[in-house]
Every structure is written in C-alpha cells, then in structure tokens.
Amino acid sequence: MSFFGMDCVRKKEREVERKLRANDRDYNLSFKYATNAIKTSKYNPFTFLPLNLFEQFQRIANAYFLFLLVLQVIPQISSLSWFTTVVPLVLVLSVTALKDATDDINRHRSDNQVNNRKVQVLIDRKLRSEKWMDVQVGDIIKLENNQFVTADLLLLSSSEPLNLVYIETAELDGETNLKVRQALTVTGDLGDDIEKLADFNGEVLCEPPNNRLDRFTGTLTYAGQKYPLDNEKILLRGCTLRNTEWCFGLVLFGGPETKLMQNCGKTTFKRTSIDRLMNFLVICIFAFLAFMCIILAIGNYVWELNEGSHFTVFLPRQDDNAAGFSAFLTFWSYVIILNTVVPISLYVSVEIIRLGNSFYIEWDRKMYYARKDTPAEARTTTLNEELGQIKYIFSDKTGTLTQNIMIFNKCSINGKSYGDVYDYMGQRLEINEHTDTVDFSFNPLADPRFMFHDHALVEAVKLENPEVHAFFRLLALCHTVMAEEKKEGEIFYQAQSPDEGALVTAARNFGFVFRSRTPDSVSIVEMGRQRSYELLAILDFNNVRKRMSVIVRSPEGKLSVYCKGADTIIYERLHQSCSKLMDVTTEHLNEFAGDGLRTLALAYKDLDEEYFNQWKQRHHEASTEMDDRESKLDQLYEEIEKDLLLLGATAIEDKLQDGVPQTIEQLSKADIKIWVLTGDKQETAENIGYSCNLLREEMNDVFIVSGNSSEDVRQELRNARTSMKPDVVEDSVFLSERTLGKSVKVVMDEVANGEYGLVINGHSLAYALERSTELEFLKTACMCKAVICCRVTPLQKAQVVELVKKYKQAVTLAIGDGANDVSMIKAAHIGVGISGQEGMQAVLSSDYSFAQFRFLERLLLVHGRWSYLRMCKFLRYFFYKNFTFTFVHFWYAFFCGFSAQTVYDEWFITLYNLMYTALPVLGMSLFDQDVNDVWSFQHPQLYVPGQLNLYFSKKAFFKCALHSGYSSMVLFFIPYAAMYDTVRDDGKDVADYQSFALLTQTCLLFAVSIQLGFEMSYWTAVNTFFVLGSLAMYFAVTFTMYSNGMFLALPSAFPFIGTARNSLNQPNIWLTILLTSILCVLPVVTYRFLLIQLCPSINDKVMFKVRQAKAAPPPPTRRTRIRRTSSRRSGYAFSHAQGYGDLVTSGRFLRRPAVRSSGFTHVGRTTTGFSPMGRSAGYSPTGRPQTAKVPDVEVTSLQMYRTIRDPAL
C-alpha cells in the first residue's frame, strides 16, 4: 500500500492461488502480497484538496456557482460584484471540507491504532515485538491469551493438549460462544521451541483471498509430505484467543486480503433521496433560468431595434455595438441577476439544519444507555432526513434483536410445571425486576448471576424429590461443556453454544454442579456430595438426529443413558408407559412455546450390563469401518435410544433486548417492512421471529423455502406468491422509472390477500439471488409482512440489500452489531451499528450508532420524521421566498427596457438571504414539529407520508413555483399601480425608482415572513425572536444605510439617501404593504382550509386531536410483555454443532487439572458448607396452587411418574 493511498499504476493481476513459504520473506515478497496494514481512510495530506474539491464539484450547484463566478469577473456583463459569489462559495467549500477532513482524521486515528498494535514475530531466529502493519505473509507469529488474531493464520502449535486453541469469533459472526481450532500433528510437534519453528520451511498452496468465513482449502507441504488444510486449522483476523496460554501461527493473508477486511464491502458516498431530487430540480431550475434569460434577451433585442435608437443621442453606444450583441450581453447579465433562484445559501442552510438535527440525536437522553454509558451517535450528518423515509429494515439477529444470553426460564418435571409465579388467589403474576428471586445461599457453588422466581422448584430439590434430582442430574451429565476453576469454588463454563451453558448453570444452582471432566469421566457435586461418573460414550448431536445422549456408569455401578433433544424426536423413542405423562408435558411445552421459549425434552433409561458390553463391541466395530460408517453408527444409536423414560422438558429464553417486540410492532404499524438476515440456524431464527413479534400466529401462513436447486427454489417462491394472491398477473409488476435520463426497472408493490411471512435458508438464498430467480424472490418477499433469511453469509446480506435497492423505489436501513454485518451496513442507504458486546466493527462502518435495538423506534419515528418534515418545509419555503424574490426582476425587466437593472437596492440583494430571511427559516427548520414525541409514538402512521415522498416531491416543487409566480406578480404590480402618478400628502412626487424599490422589497419581506408563520406548526420563543428580530433588523439596517451620514461617507455605495424616511412615513405606503401581504397569503389560506375540510391528511387529523386534548397528551399505554398463545414448538433449541462429542471423548478438550475444593468429600459425606434439607432450609411453599395429580395415570414400575405426598396436605 503506497504512502499516497493510491494503487500502483500497473494493476495487479488477479490471484488464482496463493503460494508461500514459512520464514522466507524474500521468496514471499516476489509475489507482492499485501502487507498487514489496513486503510479505511479516503484521503491523505497530498490527495485531500484535489479529491475533496472533485467530490464537492460533483454537486451541480457548486459547479454552477463556479461558472457564475467566472461570469462575474467579465465587466461587460456583470452588474454585481464578484465577491458576492466568491465569499459564500469559499465558505461552503471550506465548511464541507473541514467536516470531511475531521471524519477522515478520525478514520486515520482508528487505522493507526490498529496498525500500531504489537505482536511477537519470529525474525532471524528470535521473537521480536513488531507492529501489526509490519507483519508479512509467511511470517510466524506468537499470540498469547486474550490477544486479537493479527492476520489470517495457519495454526502451527499451541499450549493446549492435542494442539487445540479456543477462539471467540464475536467480531466476525457476532457469536460469543467459544470455538475450537486444532493444528496438524506434524506442526504441533514444533511446540514453542524457537529453533524448531525457525527451521520450519513448510510451503502452503491455498485458495486466493476471498470473503468466505466458513470455508478454506489448501495444502501444506513439509518434509516431502502433503497435508490437507481446512477451516478448522485457520485462525481468522478479528478473532480473540481465549483460555489458551500461547499459540504460534503462519501468516497466510494480511491486511486488506484477510477475510475480515474482504467482508467489509466497499465504502460508497451516500446521498439522500432529497439530495438526488435536488440535483434533478436544480437542473430544471437552470433550464428555466436559461428560458427566462432568452425571453429577456429577445425582449432586449426588440427594444433596442424599436426604442434604443432614440437613446443614442443621450447615451452613445461604445464601439457602435449592434442590437444582437447587446441582447447577447443582456442574456449573461440576467443569468447573473436571476441566479438567486438557486442561492448558495441554500446549501449552507441545509448543512446547518442537518448538523443541528444530528446534535438532537446525540443529545437525546432517551437514546442514552446508562448501563454501558453509551449515548446515541450520529456518525454521519448528511442523512438525517432519510431516516424519515425508511421502508425496509434489514436486521441481524444475534446481538441486535437478542442479547445472545440464554436464560433457564421454566421447566416441566414429572408432569408438573415450574417457573411461573402465582399470587394467593391462584392468579399468575407477571415476572419483572421487582419479583422475588429464589435464594440459592444453601449452595456454596451456585452462580450468583443466575435468577429463578419459582420457590416450589428449589423446595422440591431440598425435599429430595427423585424425579427432580434425576432431571438435574441429566442436565449436569449430558453435555459437552468444559469447566474451568481458577479459584476454589469459582467455576467458569465454556460452552460451544449458550443454550448448553444455560442448562448446565441451571443444574449447578439447583445443587447438581458440573465440576470437571476427563475423556472418560464426568465429576459433579450432587447436593454437596462429590460424585464421579464414568463416561462410556457420547452419542453426538447432528442436524438429522436433533438430540444428544451420554452413557454413564454411576459410582454405585449403575449403567444409564441420558438423552436430551427436540420433543418430537424424543417422543418417538419413549416407552409406552409414558403416554399419559407425554400428554401433560405436551401441554406444558405448548405453553412454553407460546411464550416464545426454546424447548427441549429430557429422557433416560437404565441399561443392562451384558447388553451394553455387546453394544459397545458393535459400536467399536462400526466406528472403525471404512465404508458406510455414519449410517452404521446411526443404527446403533437408534437401537440404544429407544424405550426411554420421560423426565420432563426445559424452556430456555433466548433473551431479547429490552423492548424489541414493542419496537417491531410499532415499526410495522408505520408500514416499515423488517427482514431479519442471520447466520443462525432456521429453527433458532424462527423462534426469535415469533418471540419478537415479527412472525405471528395470526398470520395466514409462513412459507419455508428450502429448495436445493434453482428450479426448486423458483417453484417454491411461485407457489408462495400464488397462495398470497391467486389472481396475480405476471406482467403487471414492473414500472419504468426515468431518473436523470437513466431508465430504471422498478418492481411495483403488490398487496397480498392477508398477512404472510417468509423463511428462506442460506443455500436456497444463493439460488434465489441468481439473476434468473432474483425478481421472483423479490416479488414474493415484498408481498410478505416479514422475511427471515437464515444461515446467510455476510456477502449474501449485502446482496439482499442491493437487490431491494435496485428494484424498489424505497429507502433501506441495515442494523447490526458484528463484523459480519459491515457489508450489509455499507450497502444500505443508512447503516446503523449496535455498540454491543460483539466489538466495534459495525459501529465504525455505520452512519448512526446506539446501544439498544429499541432506540431505532425513536430514531425513525421521532428524529427521522421530524428531520424529514423540517427539511421538506425548509425546501418548500426556501424555494418560495427565492423564486418570489427573483421573479419580481423578471416582471420589472418589461418596464426598464430589458436593461438588466435590478428592481431592489443592491444592499438588499446582498442581505436578503444572508440576514433578513436566514434566521427565521433556520429557526423553523431546527425547532418545528407537527406533534411531539409522545403523539408520534401513539400514531406511528404519521411516518407513512415520508415513505411516499408526500412532503417534498416534483409535484410539491411545481406547486411552490406556481405560488411564487403569483406572489411575484402581486408584489410587483400592486406597488407599481399604487405608486403610479402618486404624490405625497405634501404634494411632492413619490413615484421614483428608489421609492418603488423600497416599497417592493418591504412588501416582499412582510409577505415571506407571514408565509413563514403559516408554515410553522410549533412556535417557540426562539422562532418568534428570529421572525420579529429579522423584520426589526431590516428596518434598522435600511434607515441606517439610507441616512445622510452613510451617503456622505461613501456616495457611490449608498445612493438611496433619505428614501426610507420620505416613503415610510406615508399612510398609502403602509396600506399598500398591507394589501400585498393579504393578497399573497389569501390563496394559501383558502387552499389549506378547503384541503383540511375536504381531504385531511393523517397529520391534520392527529394535530386536530392534539388541539382537542389542549392539555398535555395522555400518558402512553403501559407496555406489557407481549404474550402469545401458540401451539408451535422449536424443532430443536440448540445452536449446536456436530462433532463436539468426539472431541470430548478423544481427550482433545482435556484441560489442566481443576482446583479441588477441600470442602467436598467422597460419596455419602456432606460438606460443611451445605445447609440441611427440607422445610427448615429456609423456604416454605408460596400460595401457589400445586398441580393436582392427573387422573388415570398409572404408576409405572419404573417410578417415572410417582405421586409426591405433600406433608402439608
């Protein structure tokens, strides 16, 4: 990467495959691979000025003002001084450049902070501390615990047994659970021996740089042998090393070629739809300006031929110029005079308004997250009004909608449901932060962060209920969690999925503490007694089995298989004696699913020793088979996992962020469509879809698209469309839209017959995004109320956003929190980053950031809507006041011989936009609001006009131009007629040019000020001061400039001596001002009155409601937790991965010995720290009614559904 930030002139050939040799920089440098330095900034000191000016002059208006400046330095055609244009132009360019420079300096700082991090690199047979930016491909580097991975590495060796490392990939995929990577044995033997590592000269041949996070292919050639490389041996930049003292890795890709940076997407210059419309309108205005100037030039030509010859006696022509040349000069003179149709102050004002509205976002205390001291941040100031026009939101799931925290919420054991809290009347209470929690002080090893509210369950544990004990024993044994005990009694669990961690933590708190494991044993503490179970087999989870089992031998020698999994799968394998219990548990499962919880069923059975030995022998034979190994093992698993006995079910809450369901409901009412794009599995994403109110039971249908070919996917999408709208016409979905000469094919919105949802997984989405299928996918998805895309890659997220942008005339917003969301955030019109626990990659690439998803509601429905409303009012009014100002010149031209004389005093022209009308319109644009934030939330439909561009569009602009044309005629002809042949009350003449100019400009200022008053919905002290102060300023400046003293000081600059005091003391002048003001605003008042009476908008209706309320609006309805009554259950609750059982039993997870607590003794002995059991242990049952014994349930000999005799009865 060059210092100047520019690529080399000779473009690098596209890489087909990567070759590199360890510890050989000279060899690797010959391929010119990228170094490890990253660059997200746009400029450097040398390129800033030319690049920034080039970008700014792409804005048509800036180029136009530069052209005007050139015209104004030509004395023959300039009737205004050159500095009237150059000063504001330089000001605008400087302010914008300063803002761009500040943003880029922050990006440079961020880059420097990352590039200057230190890492140990093996150079010249020594470990040296080097900056990240100096690391090169082929270097061997050493990483230590909790360090970020420097570049994309091939793992060589580690401090852990079997060369394992544990990494956290939150920066990449938003998942906080640990993942395991393992080095090749041949490189693992190098260990941390620096001499051996320095002698390592292996050659890697692998794929070129790409953005696939889940795949890697390559080979390592070392000592004459070839070894295959896959994703399990690669550490990606952005990961963090955890629970591993050290590891060594070989750099494969650096800097911009790492998968993290490849997924960042291209930074594009974002413009709002109003900016794009403004560019179009400015072109139209220029065309109209040229048209007016041509008319006036023709008028000058005709006038010169007919009348001009009579004036040559008094004004001889220079160089005897002909009428044609005079008309040519007049054309350019009027271009300068009429340039105020697009004054440069428009763009200065727009920047100020955007900056002000950005500060409102940052200052909003209701978007401040106190727990993490994180305020909302407007990282871009140019997109505020676009927030009021969002139609599609693309959201990540993990960390954005959810907290990625799993909570053990409820359970069903032996037909009894636990987890709900009841009052003394038997009514279920809503659980909140004030609800009493269970006291786990009886258990010294309990996790203090775990909370549970139903005291009945802990009572059942203390009363030694055998089924409850069996339930938690299963949770403590059947898992692949690793335990780490750094201090005595302080246990930390490392789970490969947060679900497993939640279940093991629940068992821990209820007295069944998982303490440690070896490849062939699991040690747990059962109610204070240390027990070690022999681990005989793990029947691992996979996506087909949807369950996992362990076979263990208890200290007493009893063999058991414990199984947990999807309830539908477990139910098929239960003993027939469990049929009654199944019915009761099913009811509980339905209740849990109705609350949006993720459910699992638990079952077990005891095994016969002889049978197990035979099964184990067959299992060993099957596991060593070369052919058809998987299916043979599956058959054996099926055989032993039958005739199970049901223990109960668990219900885990995938903890949503606060307020997510309510936010989604509000945004849906605002007619915003929400698509969730997640890397999670389908069942998990669907569960969250239901729990956050995105998918609802009331929907007519939720379509699942899971085709494995392009044709299958197309047919599934077509079937879904037909179901939603049977009479759909294929050819009616396109609308050809022309924007600035470009023809764009737009997919029209279709209305479905009902409400529908769409769920599509990653491999099907790949087919759906193909060119032949993308329109079918888009048309189907846009008819649905909610869309969920599962197992999607970061690139696919961006492709979905680009697809909607391409074919829909709609504004898109993407929101996420991880590095895997960066490409989506950059692709959308507006990107929002959640500053959560998954790092800052998303925030650094975003336009806006805050800490909680719920703040999005306020960002859009309040700040976005107000910003859009203010900007539209500003533009409508600004064009009105400047068109009116300018068109008066046009009418005056017919009365001044088309001589390019100005109708106003030159000082008034200079100060009109700068002083007399600047502050009032800025006051309206910064403080105006139709209704306050509470009413905005109560009526989210107020957001819809923004999506439809109703406040400012080509039509609204045309109306504004017509209104200006009418007002300019009134402002010219009424004063002209009033002053024609008029004398003062003392008989002196008042009908001179200077008096007419003063009257016209005074009428203009009063008319536009009154019009501003009609535009304003919300008057504040500041607004009132600006409007009245500007009028007062006008009179103060006018009387000062038209005074004798100013004329005597500079006669040529202040020629209007005494005009103000001579004119403004006449009653007929003030009557004329009154008449013109009334005539200017009368049509507006009439039109608005009729519009509100005959066709009121949603704003009119709500504002009328507010006026009726008179006092403060009613308090918002208390947000209660949204509960669903549903029969839907999770197919499988875990975000689990296959293969962890093999790791556990192979010993690869084996850690250093955990600290042993001296407080725990062998079987049968209780610890001194353990409290007595039973009622005396602290809690008596609450007023909660006990679940009655289900009638007609047979007590099985297996005692799986025994009746508990309550001593209180």
- Nearest Cα neighbor of 210 from 795, 799, 817, 797 is 795
Encode burial over 738-753: b for 16+ CB neighbours within 10 A, e otherwise: eeeeeeeeebeebebe
Closest CA to 394 of 853, 777, 1017: 853
Q: How many other C-beta atoms can be found within 10 angstroms of the C-beta atom of residue 677?
A: 28
Distance linking the first and last C-alpha atoms of the chain: 81
Distance CA 139, CA 119 (A): 11
The per-residue DSSP string of 411-444 comes to EEETTEEES-EE-TTSPEEPP-TTS-----TT-T
- Quickly count: other Cβ atoms within 10 Å of residue 650's Cβ: 28
Helix axes of 865-893 and 323-337: crossing angle, nearest 10 degrees: 150
Largest Cα span, the chain: 132
Helices (H) and strands (E) counted in the chain, each on its own, are 40, 37
Instruction: State whether the Cα torsion 430-431-433-437 is positive or negative.
Output: positive
Task: Retrieve residue 283's tokens.
Answer: 């072109």
Amino acid letter, residue 130: E
Catalytic residues: 396
Q: Could you tell me where the DSSP H helices lie in 692-813? A: 710-724, 762-768, 774-783, 794-807
Q: How far apart are CA 1075 and CA 874, in angstroms?
A: 26
Q: Which helix (H) or strand (E) holds 730?
A: none
Distance CA 331, CA 349 (A): 29
Question: Is the separation of the CB atoms in 258 and 148 below 8 Å?
Answer: no
Q: Do residues 93 and 53 make contact, with C-beta atoms less than 8 angstroms apart?
A: yes
Nearest CA to 216 among 267, 277, 258? 258
Do residues 249 and 156 lie in contact, with contact meaning Cβ atoms separated by under 8 Å? Answer: yes
Q: Contact, 500 vs 480, CB < 8 A?
A: yes
Q: Report the C-alpha gap between 73 and 793 in whole angstroms.
A: 58
Q: Which of 235, 232, 229 has its CA nearest to residue 217?
A: 229
Mark out the alpha helices in 894-979 (DSSP H runs). 906-911, 918-927, 933-938, 944-947, 954-979
Q: What share of the chain is helix, strand, coil (3-state, %, to 5)?
A: 45, 20, 35
Distant-in-sequence, close-in-space partners of 1201: CB < 8 Å, separation ≥ 6: 414, 415, 467, 578, 580, 581, 1193, 1194, 1195
Distance in angstroms (rounded) separating the CA atoms of residues 515 and 522: 8
Distance CA 782, CA 751 (A): 9
CB neighbour class for 588 (10 Å; exposed up to 12, middle 13-18, buried from 19): buried
| Residue whose C-alpha is closest to residue 935's, from 994, 873, 1037, 865 | 865
| Strand partners for 532 | 523
Using CA of residue 547, residue 551, residue 554, residue 555, what is the dihedral sign?
A: negative
> Strand 377-378 to strand 848-850: parallel, antiparallel, or no bridges (unpaired)?
antiparallel
3-class secondary structure, 1137: coil
What are the residues facing 110 on neighbouring strands?
A: none
| Burial (0-12, 13-18, 19+ Cβ within 10 Å), 185 | exposed
Q: Which sign, positive or negative, has the C-alpha torsion 686, 687, 690, 693?
A: negative
